[in-house]
Structures are given as structure tokens and as C-alpha cells.
Amino acid sequence: MTDLADSPFWLIAGTVLVALVLSVMPLPGALALYRPEWLALVVIYWCLTCPERFGPGVAWTCGIVMDALHGTLLGQNALALLLISFLALRFRLQVRIFPIAQQSFTVALMLALHTFVLIWIDGVADVPIGGLARLWPVLASAIAWPLVVLGLDRVRERNGNGAHVPG
């Protein structure tokens, strides 16, 4: 993970957009069950690396757009992503220096809470909650986390900001 240099607005917006597209991209058959929570991962990444630009407000807005895109209750994903951003911002200094495996584990914990919030709201709103299969994306996201970090770090370096800090 690179240091705290500001990333341009368009870069953040672009990654969020890509995450949104990936979240509704049709996947063949059973693979759709293991789709990582791309948007949540991107939100965590930006909260950890660029908190000046990416605060709870932006995370919340991303959630609202996600809700509109997926047709869920307006505010459902917003609340879940708000929680994610809170955790990421609150424990930013600790999580940033974790080794990547430990980071993945932390991300999995955050996403488990995120999923819990989503399931809880589904339950209150009489939407079928889908059972234990809801936990697969959490696992998939934890596996995808190193890739997200690697990819986004690379993108930021190529765009001239974020001098690499070893470790």
C-alpha cells in the first residue's frame, strides 16, 4: 500500500465506476455466488490510502448509487458502506501497516459486518435473505483484496502520485 499522497478525483471516481460495473456484470452460473464485493473493497482501499478525499460522505454516496443500480432499498448499501468506511477510517493507521494476509483477514471481518447489515435490513424489509450462501462473497472478497491493492497501487503510481513506501 502506498503513502497518503492525494489521488485525483477522476481516479477515485473511475475506480468506483469500474467497481459498480463489476458488481452488476453477469457471471456464468454458480460463479455469480462468489462475486467479491468490489465496491466495498474499493471503498476500504480509498479510506485507507486517501482519507482526505474519501470520507464517510463519499462512501455513503457510493452506497446510494449502488442501491439505485441494484434496486435494493434506498439506503441499504449506503448504510453498510458507511459502516465499512467508519471501520476503515477508524483503524486506518493499524490496518495500513498490517502484512497483506492480515489485511485480508481484517477486510473479511469488515465485510462480514457489512453483509450482516445487509442481511439484517433484508430481514426487516421481508426480502428473502438467501441463507449461508451470502457468506461466500465475504470469502471471495478477502481473496480478492491483495489483487485490489496491487492493481490500485499500480494505477496510482502510474498516475504520478503516491511515492512508494516500502513495507
Partner 1 sequence: MKERDEKPLFVRGPSLGARMLLLATASLALMVLDYRNNHLQSIRNALSVVVYPIRVAVDLPFSATRWAGENLRNRTALIAENESLRETELDARARLQRLAAVEAENARLRALLESSAKVADRVLVSEIMSVDLDRFHHRILIDKGTRNGAYRGQALLSADGIVGQITRAELLTSEAILISDPSHALPVEINRNGLRAIAVGSGDLTRLSLPFLPNNADVEVGDLLVSSGLGGSFPAGYPVGVIRSVERDPGEPFATVTAEPVAALNRTREVLLVWSGAPPVGDQDADSQRLAEGPP
Task: Compute and round to an integer the Cα radius of gyration of the chain.
Answer: 15
Report DSSP state, residue 52. T
Could you tell me the three cell numbers for 165? 513506501
Q: Does 140 bind partner 1 (CB under 8 A)?
A: no
> Per this entry, what is the length of the chain?
167
Q: Does 9 bind partner 1 (CB under 8 A)?
A: no
Cβ-based nearer residue to partner 1, 78 or 111: 78
Report in angstroms how near the CB of residue 28 gets to partner 1 at its nearest: 11
Rounded distance, CA 86 to CA 161, Å? 25
Rounded distance, CA 130 to CA 139, Å? 16
Binding mask 81-100 for partner 1 (x = CB under 8 A): -x---x--xx----------
Q: Does 141 bind partner 1 (CB under 8 A)?
A: no
Pick the binder of partner 1 from 56, 88, 104, 144 (CB under 8 A): 56
**Nearest-CA neighbor of 45 among 88, 83, 87?**
88
Cβ-based nearer residue to partner 1, 24 or 101: 24
Report DSSP state, residue 157. H
Which of these segments, 36-44, 53-61, 138-146, 151-159, binds partner 1 (CB under 8 A)? 53-61
Which of these segments, 37-45, 71-79, 99-107, 108-116, binds partner 1 (CB under 8 A)? 71-79
Q: Does 13 bind partner 1 (CB under 8 A)?
A: no
- Residue 87 CB coordination number (10 Å): 19
Q: Got the DSSP string for 70-115?
A: HT--TTHHHHHHHHHHHHHHHTHHHHHTS-HHHHHHHHHHHHHHHH
Q: Does 166 bind partner 1 (CB under 8 A)?
A: no
Write out the residues near partner 1 by the rule CB under 8 A: 6, 17, 20-21, 24-27, 32-33, 35, 52, 55-57, 60, 63-65, 67-76, 78-79, 82, 86, 89-90, 121, 125-130, 133-134
